[in-house]
A and B are shown apart, each in its own frame.
Chain A
Amino acid sequence: MNAFAWVRPLLATLVCFSLFEAAAAAVDVQVRLPAGEPVEDVAVILEPVSGRVPLPKKTARIEQVDREFVPYLSIVQKGTSVQFPNRDRIKHHVYSFSPTKTFEIKLYAGQPAKPVLFDKPGEVVLGCNIHDWMEAHVLVVDTPWFGKTALNGTARIEGVPAGRYRLWVWHPRQKAAASVQALTLGATTVRADFVLDVAPQPLRFKPPAGPKSY
């Protein structure tokens, strides 16, 4: 994984820039377990072979609601700043020991002063130091075209310029990486199917919330 993380921005810069002006297309992705059930929260990443991608322009947000990270999985383009607003009445201590982005926002409430900039592609696992069960994943990618499967296991990436792309999927608990699909996009909607074996979410002890006392 880490190896990709280092190579991908380079590729994007060198190869993909020429496709930028083609007509926009869409990609529909369906991800299923080997048994056939749809898989939710699968990151679907579409990377231009050219490597040329527009600069990120938006910020992202991962909230802490009812002592959970929301969303569980975030996909951001490299260079995106992510805010960690605390919606709970208790404090949280958000950290990441992941090499892609190691940071720590010590016990805080409300909006932290500064967002966290994810400036390297790769995976980041977030935790809360005082709530062991809280877990969130951030996939930093070097492309603005990505999606996340919904409950039915589908994701749609729209507004993709025509060109040649690599389409891959990722899930924090995937047992093995699915193979990358090469796509050449025109003006039509392309459909792609992935089979991804994902471990079930391990049960973690989460104490019940007291009556507004925390």
Chain B
Amino acid sequence: MAGLNLERRIVVVFVGLVVLVMGLILLLVQRSGERIVAVESQRQLAAGQTSFESLVAQNQRQLELAATVLSRDFSFREAIATQDRPTMISVLQNHGSRIGARAMMALALDGRVIADIQQQQKPGDAFAFAELLAAAEAAGQASDIVRMADGRMYQVVVVPILAPVRIAWIVMGFPIDHAWATSLARTSGLDISLVNAAGSRMLASSLPESRHAVLLQAMAGETGLSREVTLDGDHFQGIALPLGQQARVILLHSLEKSEAVFKELERSLLFTASGGIVLLVFGSLWLARHIAGPINALAATARRIEAGDYSQPVVVQSQDEIGQLAASFEGMRVGIASRESKITRLAYEDALTGLPNRVRIEERLASLGDTAEAALVVLDLDRFAAINDALGHPVGDQLLRQVGARLVQQLPPGAMLARLWGDEFAFLLEDMARPAVVDFAESLRVALQTPMDLEGQRLDVNGSLGIAFYPADGTDLNALLQRAELAMYEAKRRQSGYMLAEQVGPGPLPEHLSLIGEMRDALDKREFILHYQPKLDLASGRVTGAEALLRWQHPQRGLVAPARFIPFAESTGFIREITPWLLEAVVAQTAAWRAQGFELVVSANLSARDLLDPGLVAWVRELVTGHALPPAALCLEITESALMEDPALAQAHLQALADFGVKLSIDDYGAGQASLAYVKSLPVHELKIDQSFIRTLADSPKDVAIVQSTITLGHALGLAVVAEGIETEADLAWLAANGCDVGQGYFIARPMAADALCDWMNGRRAQAG
């Protein structure tokens, strides 16, 4: 549309300008034509007038001459001298016809008529035109244009008959009629009309009779004024002049010829202009196409590029500015295409392995139809962090690449393999039956069993798989991934190779989401409170520390049991909002107690998410320093499972914390899979035996053995061993007897508020004291 507009605009501008100029020229020509015609016709009329007047004078002279010559004719004179009227009439007729005089009269010297061939005047009558006769007497001869008795106009010449003295006058009248007018008209180039003195009657005219009336009307009034006359549509310049005493003549100059020149000029101009405009229309159309065509092509290409199609090259074959523009356009297209493909690659491709990334697989999943079935298989390498730490990141990266390459070989047609992050890979398998998916998972494990060759080192790699089905286990990547990862972690925990999401169960239920909201409110409204359970040094019987335990004083539900919300807070990550508050409160309380003289080492629990928080170490350091607390006054308890989520990072953070001086404790030891070998590598200070072992101590010899060996092993590793969940005196006694360092449990004291702990300790002190 824009191109058409440009074309049209160019054509309109060009053609419009030419039409304007041509129009102006035509107008100018027409105007000047009219003016020139007017001036020219006036000039020609004036010239014609002069010519007419001289013609009339010449005519008159010729008539006079002819009359004079005739009057000298001897026989004519002889006949006149006879005074015989019949003879005279006869000779007058005869000789008058010789020179074309229609009226012939002989007058006596006294002015009386002797003979008149037309019998207009009777013999003896006085000549009708006495003035004329007087003029003839004065000048020898005279002439005038008069109207005679027959009502016609005559050019009358009066000449004497000399024999050789004047013996008579001869009056000769030459008719002034249409022939006269026509003849004069031919000679003068004007149309000549003779009208009576009043201008009311046409006497003779070179014009056709049909025009007489109009002409009389148009030229009525004053004489001597040039004016324009239109007769039957023809234009004339006309002037009326007196002719003799009894007539006036109207001279008309036709404008037709003068106008014709300009009409012709106008026609030629119009023709030229029309031709020029047609040429210009085509020319400017061609030019406009020439300009707009490539621009349209560029615009089309630009739209294609806008739509994301970079494939078609910009081809404009011209050397002008548009060609240069097209060339830069082409450069731009190539540049954008290459950059976009690079960006796309970066956006959808994992830079390390070249596999699709998480975004890509997410899009693929989103593009699945409602009726489609698919399986998301998540693979996480076992012990990758340890490999990474042990052999360095470059080797780790190389391992990931090799794993990726090997996994790609297993990829069934139509399936997608992506690297999600770290050592976690995901397969998206479409339209594959569940048994086939399970078989595929098995085949992956088999494929990974072949050791990797990393720079000459053979490396055994295992992976745990979690499988979630679309749409049964979730309809978006996050849901599916969560389920699959849960299954994968479970598989990893159980070392079962793979787990189906449905075997592991769903993650947080929708009602849990409202719980998150409530927890957030609780945090704001300070509904969370901390209770402290004393830790008793079994050897000395002194309270050396306390464990801070989170409690939720819900306004409606009352005290909410930790098991009801802490696992949920951990699984949803909300724990990371609670922990900072908790740590601050613990540190503040510890500092307060110290101020009161209770030098307690206070423990706080860290979840796996807390432990993996990259800001944790700095935060703890700032907190402890801020309260001027010796770092060793704070003990952080970490469960085995928290350690196992990312052992490498966990170990790094623990190391940093240990370096700072904070005490570290492995919580619930024995419930997880943490091997003593792993524990050994950790910079921890104590082991807390899972209370499930302690509770059944009295009944289960196995547990007695486990606890006993754990205490032994703990000591062997230089760790303090803590038993929690001590509910009986017997258990306490047994543990103290078996070298357990610290005890904790209802039997010693229930968890209590900070103030209550103060009172309790003061009470114990008093009791002991």
Query: B162 and A95: CB pair below 8 A?
Result: no
Q: Which of A77-106 contact B (CB under 8 A)?
A: 93, 95, 97, 102
Report if A127 contacts B (CB, 8 A): yes
For the complex, give the distance between the alpha carbons of A19 and B24 in Å.
Answer: 112
Report if A134 contacts B (CB, 8 A): yes
Considering only CB atoms, which chain A residue lies closest to B80 in the complex? A97
Query: B165 and A135: CB pair below 8 A?
Result: yes
B-side interface residues, number (CB < 8 Å): 10
Please, which residues of chain A bring their CB within 8 A of the CB of B163?
Answer: 95, 97, 125, 127
What are the interface flags for B160-184 relative to A under an 8 Å C-beta threshold, 1 for contact and 0 otherwise?
0011110100000000000000000
What are the interface flags for A118-132 relative to B under an 8 Å C-beta threshold, 1 for contact and 0 otherwise?
000000011111001
Please, which residues of chain B bring their CB within 8 A of the CB of A133?
Answer: 164
Grouping DSSP codes into helix (H, G, I), strand (E, B) and loop, the A interface class, with mixed when no group exceeds half, is: strand
Closest-CB distance, B166 to chain A (whole angstroms): 9
Q: Which of B144-173 contact A (CB under 8 A)?
A: 162-165, 167
Query: A97 and B78: CB pair below 8 A?
Result: yes
Query: B165 and A97: CB pair below 8 A?
Result: no
For the complex, give the distance between the alpha carbons of A125 and B81 in Å.
Answer: 12
Query: B74 and A132: CB pair below 8 A?
Result: no
Q: Interface size bucket, A side?
A: 10 to 19
Report if B72 contacts A (CB, 8 A): yes
Report if B531 contacts A (CB, 8 A): no
Query: A132 and B72: CB pair below 8 A?
Result: yes
Closest-CB distance, B33 to chain A (whole angstroms): 54
Query: B72 and A97: CB pair below 8 A?
Result: no
Q: Which of B75-106 contact A (CB under 8 A)?
A: 77-78, 81
Closest-CB distance, B79 to chain A (whole angstroms): 10
Query: A97 and B162: CB pair below 8 A?
Result: no
Considering only CB atoms, which chain A residue lies closest to B167 in the complex? A97
Closest-CB distance, A62 to chain B (whole angstroms): 14
For the complex, give the distance between the alpha carbons of A178 and B72 in Å.
Answer: 32
Partner of A135, one of B72, B77, B164, B167: B164
For the complex, give the distance between the alpha carbons of A45 and B654 in Å.
Answer: 192
Considering only CB atoms, which chain A residue lies closest to B79 in the complex? A97
Please, which residues of chain A bring their CB within 8 A of the CB of B167?
Answer: 97
For the complex, give the distance between the alpha carbons of A97 and B72 in Å.
Answer: 13
Please, which residues of chain B bring their CB within 8 A of the CB of A97?
Answer: 77-78, 81, 163, 167
For the complex, give the distance between the alpha carbons of A125 and B77 in Å.
Answer: 13
Query: B74 and A95: CB pair below 8 A?
Result: yes
Closest-CB distance, A47 to chain B (whole angstroms): 25
Scoring A97, A102, A127 by chain B CB atoms within 10 A of each residue's CB, the highest score goes to: A97
Partner of B165, one of A93, A95, A102, A125: A125
Please, which residues of chain B bring their CB within 8 A of the CB of A93?
Answer: 74
Please, which residues of chain A bring their CB within 8 A of the CB of B165?
Answer: 125, 135, 172
Closest-CB distance, A153 to chain B (whole angstroms): 22
For the complex, give the distance between the alpha carbons of A132 and B164 in Å.
Answer: 7
Considering only CB atoms, which chain A residue lies closest to B83 in the complex? A99
Closest-CB distance, B21 to chain A (whole angstroms): 70
Please, which residues of chain A bring their CB within 8 A of the CB of B77?
Answer: 97
Report, nearest first, the 10 A-B pairs whose CB atoms are least far apart. A97-B81, A127-B164, A97-B163, A135-B164, A129-B74, A125-B165, A127-B163, A132-B164, A132-B72, A97-B78
25 pairs, CB–CB < 8 Å, chain A vs chain B: A93-B74, A95-B78, A95-B163, A97-B77, A97-B78, A97-B81, A97-B163, A97-B167, A102-B81, A125-B163, A125-B164, A125-B165, A126-B164, A127-B162, A127-B163, A127-B164, A128-B164, A129-B74, A132-B72, A132-B162, A132-B164, A134-B164, A135-B164, A135-B165, A172-B165
Knowing that A95-B78, A125-B165, A135-B165 touch, tell me 17 more A-B residue pairs with CB under 8 angstroms.
A93-B74, A95-B163, A97-B163, A102-B81, A125-B163, A125-B164, A127-B162, A127-B163, A127-B164, A128-B164, A129-B74, A132-B72, A132-B162, A132-B164, A134-B164, A135-B164, A172-B165
